[in-house]
Amino acid sequence: MKRILTIVCAMAIALLSASAQEKQHSLEITTGYPSILHNLEYPWAYSTVEMTWNGQEYKEHYQPGINIGYTYQWRKRWEVNTMVNVHLTIMDISQYPLLPRVEGTATSGPEATKQYDWNADPIVTRQTDVFGAFCASVRYKWLVRDNFSLYSALGAGISIGFPIPIPYVAPIGIKFGKGKIYGIVEANVSAATTFGMAGIGIKL
């Protein structure tokens, strides 16, 4: 009986130890190409047709986005990830001067574009917008090795200023490294984070 109890206790300790090793908390910081978030919001704020009617043109300068995420691994192959995305968009707005008013010229609509001197030097104003979003996903690691793992993820996000659910799909991602600091590279399709991202993770 003592031998059986000893074996049972040893097995229980081993299982608890393995379970504790599986559970991990990590902080991930990544960067990548900005999301399509601004394309969902900008058309309303900066309609190309409306800006042309008003004698304006704009040019965007994209900046890398930043993703800050928290990952909880509760099984060897399963993780839950939450992420906050912030990215900056810089826009140059060019305002062209009016031509001398001609009687009968339209003041709105397509004909109004004829009021502006598109060959003149415009007045350029630089505008900066900051976009943010929150995303949550579940990752499944379908290949696990000692020094790297491959995973896929599925989730949803929501944008600040665009309050509807946004799908998040990552067909493939890779985590590599054995220490407390590891690398991460991921390709995803989402408007809540950067399209592709790369960075580091820190095990807490």
DSSP 153-190: EEEEEEETTEEEEEEEEEEEEEEE-SSSEEEEEEEEEE
Q: Please, which pLDDT band fits residue 128 given cuts at 50, 70 and 90?
A: confident
pLDDT for 78: 94
Residue 158 CB neighbours (<10 A)? 15
Confidence (pLDDT) at 4: 39
| Predicted local confidence at residue 33, as pLDDT | 74
Count of CB atoms within 10 A of residue 65's CB?
A: 24
Backbone angles phi, psi at 80, to 5 degrees: -115, 130
The pLDDT assigned to 194 comes to 72
Distance CA 131, CA 65 (A): 9
Least confident of 19-28, 43-52, 112-121, 142-151: 43-52
Residues 26, 71 contacting (CB under 8 angstroms) = yes
**Per-residue pLDDT tens digits for 95-112:** 988 887 655 555 555 555
Classify domain 24-203 by CATH number: 2.40.160.20
- Which residue in the block uniquely carries the two structure tokens 């608890």? 16
Q: What is the pLDDT of residues 60-74, one digit of tens each?
A: 776 778 889 999 998
Length of the chain: 204
- Summarised one tens digit per residue, pLDDT across range 158-204 is 877 667 788 888 999 999 998 899 999 998 877 666 778 899 999 98
Pull the structure tokens for residue 203.
Answer: 């095990």
β-bridge mates for residue 185, sequence order:
174, 198
What is the rounded CA–CA span in Å between residue 150 and residue 47?
Answer: 41
- Higher per-residue confidence, 172 vs 48: 172
pLDDT digits (tens, 9 = 90+) for 7-39: 334 433 433 344 445 678 999 999 887 665 555
Exposure string of 176-195, with b = 16+ CB inside 10 Å and e = fewer, is: eeeeeebebebebebbbbbb
pLDDT of residue 48: 66
